[in-house]
Structure 1
Amino acid sequence: MLYSSEVENEITDSVFRHKTPDYIGATVSEFAFHGCEVMMRDQPLLDQLRMIHFDLAIIDAFPLAPCASIVPHHLGIPFITKDASPLAVHQPLFPAFIPHSNLHLSHKMYFWERVENAIVLLMELYGLASPSINDLTLLKKFSPCLVDWNELLRLALLHISTTDHHLSYPTPVLANHVQLPGVTWRNTRPLNNPIFRFMDLAPEGAVVVSFGSSVHSLPPRYLKTLFSAFQNFSGLVFYLKLDQQIIHSVDVPRNVLPLSWLPLNDLLGHPRTKLFISHCGRSVLHESVFHGVPVMCIPLFKEDEINTQNVVYLGLGKHVDIFTASAKTLKDTTSELLRNEMYQKNVKRISLMLKSHKFNPTETVAFWVEHVLKFGGSHLRSEAMNMTSAQFAMLDIALAFFVLFSCLFCEMYRFCSVCWCRCYRTKGIATFTTKRDGMNALYSSGRKDSNC
């Protein structure tokens, strides 16, 4: 999802002011819902879109901001979602072996981890894990027949996710869910002269540094830490995506080339590129692995932390916390990634897997778009799309079993209580009779003794 520069700056500032992930998520969601509201109030825009007669819309269904889907639905345009939450569109997400992204668990979970995972997944299914998306004002105004945003997303012809088992855990998918990683990767093109000449200055190769399109620059104190580490590698050059306005506030080392824009795909595909230092967003991570370049992950947002966890698990790179790392930590981590052949071996292996696909991601997208335009999406649609959240999670079945076993338990308790009472009463009568007979016998014996 694209935001204005003011919104991007606000989100970035929240990250570096050490705001909590919930606060940052709520901020992103608030801006997104405001943007959707502005679009739906812009009647000339809606009229213009309606006059074009679009056959299909592809919507970014970012989990914290699913409201963009209201536009094609209101205009009667069939749509495809991109990167919708799997639970929101009722894709199978089994808590036994598929960890929730917020828990930082591996797919090998112990009992209590699976319990925690199941609880969090149920909370997300009902929107409790992300309360910020529960603003239904816009939905109730333009689509009052729908219960929530998830029900709207499930009306899509197709769901595309830009990740798969190569850089994440293997998961089952339904027919209307297409896993499509690496839409942005491609074969490299020659670098232009200034960038290429700087590459020639490095006898040991180059390192590419970028923190995504939303982060134009790190605050000066973090840049100084990076530069202190980079100065220790005189045989390497560092390409750094950096806002030109901040260059004058820091001393840039001679082996660092700051640029406001990087030809990232071409740099990563250059044979002399040895390492990629990044926030590890999904797209750039796929580009780096596709070109066989190990990664140093410096996560800034929640999604970055999830990707970083997968990178470390697969042995494709290492994790560094920019907020606590020293120049020595960055230097040692860079040296480890450059010298340890394990990372190079692991990333080359997955690179070969990605390149072995018969069709590239662009061709695959084109195929599925043409497919649903021609045939529709009903033949791909599972009955899970029509279920309520309670039915999908089988909570109605669980409730029925709970009531059944509760009734059986109550009946068994009642039966045992009756049996116990009867047994106790019989035993009490027998004991009383025995005592009474004993007293009568003693009384009779006493009378005989007195007569004597």
Structure 2
Amino acid sequence: MLVKLLPILSIILFLIRLNKCARILGVFPCASPSHYILDNALMRGLAEAGHDVTLISPFTEKDPPKNGSWREIILDGFVKNHEKHFQDINRLKNPSNPFFIFFTTNLLGNQLTEETMKNPKVQNLLMSNEKFDVVILEYFFTDGLTTLAKYFDAHLILMSPVAANMWNNHVVGNPSLPSLYPDITLGYPFKMSFYQRFRNTFHLINNYINLNFIFYPKQNEIVQKYLPKSIDMRESISNISLMFLNSHVSLSKPQAHVPNMIEIGGFHIMPPNKLPADLQILLDNAKNGVIYFSMGSNLKSKNLPIEMRNEILKAFRKRKEIILWKWEDDFLPNQPSNVFLKKWLPQQDILAHPNVKAFITHGGYLSSSEAVYHGVPIIAIPIFGDQKANANLAEQLGYGRILPPSEISEERLTVLLDEIIRNAKYRENVQARSQIMHDRQVKPIDTAVYWVEYVIRHKGARHLRVTYTDLSWYQYYMLDIFTVTFGLIFIAILIIKKVWSVFCMTNKRVVKQKQF
């Protein structure tokens, strides 16, 4: 009887092993609410799949997942420090000097890494002797934190809040041709002019110099100070199992990806919920439609310069549509009767309403992806980061227009609103993109869960990694080959020149001898 039951018992034990709960550590120190939306959605998906999740983050979850296990290690004070940097919108604009870009990103990354590593709660975790199967790190200028995966004897997965670009391609060896892929901080269109390609190329070169000779050494110095045992950061960063990209072909131009880069863009977007009663009535009864206006979770509309705000209000006052504005204060001077204010608004649910005709946004990646998902054309007012690049892309793909902050006026805003609302091509283009975004074999969050479990099943999935990780950066870009090649050409030219010089001198002597 026992012999007959052995095959059944084996199958049961196999299924138990297959569905074994994994211990997953998420490290997400960035105090940006928009980043947390992504981080929380990913970790929630893993918890709902039955895994044991620990989350290091500045935020706390009010409604933890019902399945799996959910533990939070809160980085106190991070949110307050973050908010201080976003009070002056004019100061946030991307610097034109590329060296200053590297200076600011280095400063941000070093602060995030050090504040995370020295946090008492993180130090307690480091001293706890706990082990994890996977460490998922948001890849946002905190390369030193990759050492936590090796410290906890775990596989390393990176979560990039943006698409493939020069800031993340290098760690997995993804092609990053400066002629094809503009840096997101420069805000160039994909089809660049000669000058833009020239500047983009040198920006890429400067980035690698900065990484290898300035940023990485400092990051390594920081983590060595706080880790209980020494772990070389360069060793940990070359041991990446997988990188998730918050991107999708519906949101950007198609790009090449190495096998261990997985696109999951839009994974944070949920099916629309019923709106609060007051908003539901307002939107349902908007006979002329609704214009939704939000500057996102980091930027606050109340911090807009007064002159800019007044020009926007002049344009809104002339509209027949209802204006629904995310305004973070109790009072808006000169508020028109058709403008309705809320300190917080359920953005995804609002964009899903059929009466929403246009979305005025800062052009952040989450807002852009939500607009595409729900098929709403946009006017983008980009301020910093990747926002200008996203706005350029929306304009190129025909579902949005750019309104630079310096060009905001009553007349300009009116013209653009009339254009994207009255010209059917903008809604047609964005709805075509929406169909592409919806047309997937499985939900993107299910894709993410599958690949995390895949990495665990295949013990780090080394078979997905390209040989780039075995090469030095100068070997990958063949700088040693070019150096030797041009060196040999230079030596050959010198030899030819020397031989020619000797030949000419000899020839002159022969001529002189003949003359005498």
Give the shorter-chain TM-score range: 0.7 to 0.9
| Secondary structure, aligned partner of 2:345 | coil
1:60 equivalent in structure 2: 138
| Secondary structure, aligned partner of 2:372 | helix
Q: Which residue, out of 71, 76, 79, partners 2:156?
A: 79
Quick check: 1:388 aligned with 2:472?
A: yes
Quick check: 1:135 aligned with 2:213?
A: no
1:441 equivalent in structure 2: none
Q: Which residue, out of 309, 312, 323, partners 1:238?
A: 323
1:40 equivalent in structure 2: 117
The CA deviation at 1:421 is 1.7
Residues 168/420 of structure 1: CA separation in 2 closer, same or farther (3 Å cut):
farther
Quick check: 1:13 aligned with 2:87?
A: yes
CA distance in 2: counterparts of 1:117 and 1:322, whole angstroms: 24
Q: Which residue, out of 323, 328, 336, partners 2:419?
A: 336
Matched to 2:222, the amino acid is L
1:2 equivalent in structure 2: 31
Q: Which residue, out of 212, 219, 224, partners 2:310?
A: 224
- Give the root-mean-square deviation of aligned CA atoms: 2.7
CA distance in 1: counterparts of 2:187 and 2:434, whole angstroms: 25
The CA deviation at 1:291 is 1.0
| Secondary structure, aligned partner of 1:53 | coil
| Secondary structure, aligned partner of 1:158 | strand
1:410 equivalent in structure 2: 494
CA distance in 2: counterparts of 1:402 and 1:344, whole angstroms: 54
Per-residue CA deviation, residues 77-110 of structure 1 (Å, 9 max, x unaligned), is 3221111622344311122322333444444345
Residues 413/107 of structure 1: CA separation in 2 closer, same or farther (3 Å cut):
farther
| Secondary structure, aligned partner of 1:121 | helix
Per-residue CA deviation, residues 5-26 of structure 1 (Å, 9 max, x unaligned), is 4333332234324665376875
CA contact (8 A) 1:81 1:153 kept: no
The CA deviation at 1:279 is 0.8
Normalised to the residue count of structure 2, the TM-score between the two structures is 0.76
- Spell out the pairing of 1:266-281 with structure 2 (5 A cutoff): 266-281=349-364
Segments of 5+ residues of structure 2 without an aligned counterpart are 1-29, 33-77, 161-166
Rg comparison, structure with higher value? 1
Q: Which residue, out of 463, 473, 484, partners 1:379?
A: 463
1:202 equivalent in structure 2: 286
Matched to 2:131, the amino acid is H
User: 1 or 2 for the larger relative contact order (CA 8 Å, sep ≥6)?
Assistant: 2
Residues 167/253 of structure 1: CA separation in 2 closer, same or farther (3 Å cut):
same
Matched to 1:198, the amino acid is L
Residues 44/315 of structure 1: CA separation in 2 closer, same or farther (3 Å cut):
closer
Residues 368/310 of structure 1: CA separation in 2 closer, same or farther (3 Å cut):
same
Matched to 2:114, the amino acid is E
CA contact (8 A) 2:89 2:299 kept: no
CA contact (8 A) 1:238 1:255 kept: yes
| Secondary structure, aligned partner of 1:126 | helix
Q: Which residue, out of 162, 174, 179, partners 2:263?
A: 179
Matched to 1:146, the amino acid is D
CA distance in 2: counterparts of 1:18 and 1:98, whole angstroms: 24
Quick check: 1:300 aligned with 2:300?
A: no
Residues 340/44 of structure 1: CA separation in 2 closer, same or farther (3 Å cut):
closer
1:69 equivalent in structure 2: 146
Identical amino acids, percent of aligned pairs: 24
- Spell out the pairing of 1:309-328 with structure 2 (5 A cutoff): 309-328=392-411
Mean Cα deviation higher: 289-298 or 72-81: 72-81
| Secondary structure, aligned partner of 2:302 | coil
- Spell out the pairing of 1:146-157 with structure 2 (5 A cutoff): 146=232, 152-157=236-241
CA contact (8 A) 2:365 2:387 kept: yes
CA distance in 2: counterparts of 1:216 and 1:115, whole angstroms: 35
Quick check: 1:189 aligned with 2:273?
A: yes
The CA deviation at 1:44 is 4.9
CA contact (8 A) 2:147 2:232 kept: no
Matched to 2:501, the amino acid is S
CA distance in 1: counterparts of 2:189 and 2:123, whole angstroms: 45
Normalised to the residue count of structure 1, the TM-score between the two structures is 0.85
Segments of 5+ residues of structure 1 without an aligned counterpart are 434-452
| Secondary structure, aligned partner of 2:323 | strand
Mean Cα deviation higher: 277-286 or 157-166: 157-166
